[in-house]
Copies of this chain bind each other. A is one copy, B any other.
Amino acid sequence: MTERNTADTDVSATKTLKVALLGAGNVGSQVARILLDDADTLAARTGARLELAGIAVRNVDAPREVELPRELYTTDASALVRGADIVIELMGGLEPARTLILEAIEHGATVVTGNKALLAVDGPALYEKADAAGVQLSYEAAVAGAIPILRPITDSLAGDKITRVMGIVNGTTNFILDAMDSTGAEFSDALAEATRLGYAEADPTADIEGHDAAAKGAILASLAFHTRFALEDVHCEGITGVTAGDIASAKEAGYVIKLLAIAEKIQKTDDAGLPTSGVSVRVHPTLIPREHPLGAVRGAFNAVFVEAENAGELMFYGAGAGGSPTASAIMGDVVSAARRLVLGGPGRTDSTIEVLPVLPIKAVATRYYIGMDAADEPGVLSKIAALFAENGVSIETMRQTVHREPGEVEGPGSAELRIVTHRAGEAALAATVEAINGLDIINSITSVLRVEGV
């Protein structure tokens, strides 16, 4: 037994806390390894020995990458939960994770989970149950893997007012977009490469359609704006429609395309009849300037950019997934939970003191990038510019590249037009795009993407 050698309180590490681990996958096995290997360090840091009481799995005899004492495995998750002080849920999915977490709450156990899918769907109900029972429910690992982001938002920025959060919170899509940006590959080739290297799952839908990012966006928005948001509150667009041409055009104009989860407090919108204050939570491919801190986030890394009234701009960067990094975040929550259990204090970390309405994507004003293929003839630019003006959308920059056959000086060539607008409402932009689409000089509108960070 280790004894604590600091004397600020009379706590010795003779206390034991029973830890139940649910799930022995990529993250769970690393958490088990840390609990066993670092037992003495953890005891010194918390004032209690963290005893791994058992690991609930579906099949005790399944082959596993990390070697752990066989007697730790059990298929009776419920019994394990009932005897635990701290329950670490790493099974993923909705059931039986939800039932077991509710059981842990009922028994007064502290719960640590990394299950963003469950939190996005059932978070509000689970938080309320935990609050009512006076039980702590922590989930730092659910957003941006190893990056400490929830605690800074809830604690460090507790005396400030967050105005906007923009996160690269899905490593798979960042890897794909980064590969497209650096190699010029098309989406399908970059996805194949990501799958080959293990950055994308066999069924990548949840990642590439933005659902995973949306779940994290709901959690970030809830903490940043002290209101509970669920998955259905998030407007979600994935990256399957992003082409090599979009990436190349963005690059030429000094931008990089990232899939961002954005949660933004909006005080006013320019459209009549819409709420004048609320929160927009959305996930979509976004152009950001290459020199923006988020622009430098490469490969499968994650980063969350936070804007607050007093703090200004902050960014938190790190590994967004992986067994050990995610286990680090889980263990941060476990150590905090253990300290609270030893030293006392309810350690309430999130508060829902405001009830802000969710704004529809139509209430959002942002800049837009519009790429289009037009006929190369006199008057095209002025016709298009007139349509923008009629719809109240102000153009910031307009670039034109003319494509002609070699040797051809003039003639029926086509022109690639790329327009970046000033801030405009979603509705005004949609009307503009519709009007442009109706022009016979327009061959096609190749992309409409939002621009942030300028």
What is A's interface to B at a CB cutoff of 8 Å?
Answer: 4-9, 30, 34, 38, 41-42, 44-45, 131-132, 134, 140, 146-148, 151-152, 155-161, 226, 291, 293, 296, 298, 308-319, 322, 324-325, 327-336, 339-340, 343-348, 351-353
Copies of chain A in the complex: 2
Q: How far is B34's CA from A193's CA once the two chains are assembled, in angstroms?
A: 50
Q: Are A311 and B316 in contact (CB under 8 A)?
A: no
Give the 10 A-B CB pairs with smallest separation, nearest first.
A345-B345, A159-B331, A148-B156, A8-B131, A311-B328, A310-B328, A158-B335, A314-B318, A148-B152, A146-B311
Q: How far is B115's CA from A401's CA once the two chains are assembled, in angstroms?
A: 56
Q: Are B6 and A353 in contact (CB under 8 A)?
A: yes
- In the assembled complex, which residues on chain B have CB atoms less than 8 Å from the CB atom of A158? 45, 331-332, 335-336, 339
Q: Which of B157, B161, B313, B327 contacts A148 (CB 8 A)?
A: B157
From A4, A44, A158, A327, residue with most partner B Cβ within 10 Å: A158
What is the chain B residue whose CB lies nearest that of A331? Answer: B159
- In the assembled complex, which residues on chain B have CB atoms less than 8 Å from the CB atom of A291? 296, 298
Q: How far is B233's CA from A329's CA once the two chains are assembled, in angstroms?
A: 31
Q: Are B312 and A318 in contact (CB under 8 A)?
A: yes
What is the chain B residue whose CB lies nearest that of A150? Answer: B156
Q: Are B147 and A332 in contact (CB under 8 A)?
A: no
Q: Which of B152, B226, B293, B318 contacts A296 (CB 8 A)?
A: B293
- In the assembled complex, which residues on chain B have CB atoms less than 8 Å from the CB atom of A131? 6-9
Q: Which of B134, B318, B332, B343 contacts A345 (CB 8 A)?
A: B343
